Amino acid sequence: MRKALKIGVALLVVASAGRAQAPKPTLADASPYVTKMNGGKPVDCTAAKVKINFGSGRGEGYCQAVLSDLMKSWESGTDATKLDVLTPADQMPPAPSEAYELKGDKLGSSMSEYLRNHHDDCVGKFSAPPEVHRSVISGNTLQNAGNQHANAFRFACQNLDPTFAQTLDVLALAQQLRTDVQLKNLTLATARIDREQVEFSQGRLYLVAYYFKQESFGLIQAAFINKFGQPTSTNEIVAKNLLGAQLPRTTMTWKNGVSTIELSEMSGNDLTKSQVVIVLDDIYEKVAHHHNTEALKSVQSDM
């Protein structure tokens, strides 16, 4: 896992509501942002040799990386200066009163409200500075994941329990799932949780998923029945392990017309893992329809 160079200032992009109203970015437009990265000491990205006081490698690479990011925003016609501006909770649509709530997080609530309760959460990563990575093959590149902006149509990230994260290459997992990750002690009904995934659409919480060891399923199952009542439906299957032994596995579903809970004793094809996924139905369906990506397909297969 390569160590990333953290740049101490967020990148703001010069953009307008439509491409026709904004000129195509040039190296001169990159200069102010690289100047900020350089601690305020002026940087001229149009120069033949660009002098910088930070990072490793040549300044021209940083200028090209910033220009590439500017170009992406210009080509999409988005105003990137507003992508990370959180709308106050009182200016967002209220969460449906019937929507399920777990551990104080109500489906349909705003990201602003969520962050008030989870200041150390992976969700806060959207406001982290961009990262410039040095590669001997491709040179300097600026990695600024557009899908992780606060107001994106789909924003997803993972909180990992430190014990679980020790067995993983955390950066590799984040790249595989196309999410940011954060280490955080996680519990549900007092049971230790391996990881938690949260997803927002245009600033509203629409999905929360917990993944945990199968041995904790009974405890969590009892807690859900106590909190939400008897499930709307229950499905029983018999799965086989590698030795051919038959093992019963249960899936319980709660529905209330606006949101759904699915508690599964088997996570995917892993007999040793269980999961619970909670979604706000209307937003989940819109995101699933809009984003037909492999990452989202894997989430759907777990539902």
Cα–Cα dist 142/159, whole Å? 24
pTM: 0.67
112 within 8 A of 89, measured Cβ to Cβ: yes
When pLDDT is averaged across residues 81-103 and rounded to a whole number, the result is: 87
Neighbours of 9 (CB within 10 A): 14
SS3 assignment, position 124: helix
Query: How does residue 282 score in pLDDT terms, banded at 50, 70 and 90?
Result: very high
| Confidence at residue 239, expressed as pLDDT on a 0 to 100 scale | 81
Backbone conformation region of residue 136, classed left if phi is above 0, alpha if psi is from -120 to 50, else beta: alpha
How far CA 149 is from CA of 83, 91, 260, in Å, comes to 6, 19, 26
| Confidence at residue 245, expressed as pLDDT on a 0 to 100 scale | 78
Neighbours of 53 (CB within 10 A): 10
pLDDT tens by residue, 58-67: 889 889 888 8
Distance between first and last Cα of the chain:
31
Whether 52 has a pLDDT exceeding 60, the answer reads yes
Whether 3 has a pLDDT exceeding 50, the answer reads no
Neighbours of 123 (CB within 10 A): 24
Residue 74 corresponds to which tokens in the numbers above?
């210009």
User: DSSP letters of 213-248?
Assistant: EGGGHHHHHHHHHHHH-S-SEEEEEEEE-TT--EEE
Pairing of β 155-160 and β 259-264: unpaired
Share of the chain above pLDDT 90, in %: 43
Share of the chain above pLDDT 70, in %: 75
What residue type is assigned to position 81 of the chain?
Answer: T
Q: Where are the domains of the chain?
A: 1-82, 86-129+144-301
| Average pLDDT over the chain, rounded to an integer | 80
Whether 294 has a pLDDT exceeding 50, the answer reads no
The residue among 31 and 243 whose pLDDT is bigger is 31
What residue type is assigned to position 286 of the chain?
Answer: K
Alpha helices in 144-210 (DSSP H): 162-165, 170-177
| Confidence at residue 115, expressed as pLDDT on a 0 to 100 scale | 93
pLDDT tens by residue, 215-245: 999 999 999 999 999 999 999 988 877 777 7
How far CA 70 is from CA of 38, 45, 151, in Å, comes to 18, 14, 18
pLDDT tens by residue, 247-258: 889 999 999 999
| Confidence at residue 13, expressed as pLDDT on a 0 to 100 scale | 27
Backbone conformation region of residue 79, classed left if phi is above 0, alpha if psi is from -120 to 50, else beta: beta
